[in-house]
Amino acid sequence: MGSSFDWKTQVVVITGASAGIGAALAREIGRRGGSLVLAARRRAELEEVARSAGAPSAVVVADVTRREDVQALAKTALERFGHVDVWVNNAGRGISRSFMELTDEDVDAMVRVNVKSALYGMQTILPHFKERKRGHIVNVSTMLSRVPFVSIRSAYCAAKQALNSLGETLRVELAKDYPDVRVACVLPGVVSTDFGLNALGGGPDSRALPGAQPVEEVAAIIADAIEARRNGDVYMRPEAVQRVLDFYRGLASA
């Protein structure tokens, strides 16, 4: 929205806000002047993020794989601030299992935390956005959902691809009657967080991997996308777009 965008009027809900990208995004939005509603399962960490953000905020302890917790999160946000402008579905978790090692519970866990949590968020906040005829849903996905080149993340890739598809379908559905309700899909690559260490089955420390992107840089790009009210895919680095195009050209010519 350019110069008409005013962070001081913006209320941003962030799930998975106790660490990693969610915590860094909260601090970045706080620095820019926005208000925050922060959700995760760990109260002490959430409260520390809220303090460090230095913004008007509400902290909600929630397990976003439970629909009733997500509904309670939205209720708290509306009671505290009167409206929501941006809902960031950031909660997620990886897995370190090759394709042939996957169990039913592995796949179910990936769907619960990476797909259902975001679905609940979108379904919960959408009536409010439609009533206001504006709003911004931001789903945090991964480059692996476009270019699945890490075999131990097989079920994670699949779950995030499902998240992408849900968001894209919703974006197309909204385009005619609610053009100012936007749906963005954020696609980070390797980010310097505890993501790898926290994956089911453990895994390599993301911070030790080549080319790992500082989490503060990722947060700034997401905040810029919110300010620009971006629709569709948001990549973290210019070369990422070319990598996706090359991958799909290869599929088409195979």
Beta-bridge mates of residue 185: 139, 233
Residue 163, both tokens? 């998240």
Tokens 């009657």 found at: 177
- 239 exposure class (CB count in 10 Å sphere: 0-12, 13-18, 19+): exposed
All residues at 6 or more sequence positions from 96 whose CB lies less than 8 Å from its CB, including other chains: 152, 153, 199, 200, 201, 202, 203
In the residue annotation, 235 being an active-site residue is answered as: no
Q: Helix, strand, coil % (nearest 5) of the chain?
A: 55, 15, 30
All residues at 6 or more sequence positions from 119 whose CB lies less than 8 Å from its CB, including other chains: 166
Please tell me the number of Cα atoms within 13 Å of 8 on its side-chain side: 2
**DSSP run (H or E) holding 132:** helix 117-132
Single out the catalytic residue among 156, 178, 235, 248: 156
Starting at the earlier edge strand, list the strands of the sheet with 86-89. Answer: 57-61, 35-40, 11-15, 86-89, 135-140, 181-187, 232-235
Active site residues: 156
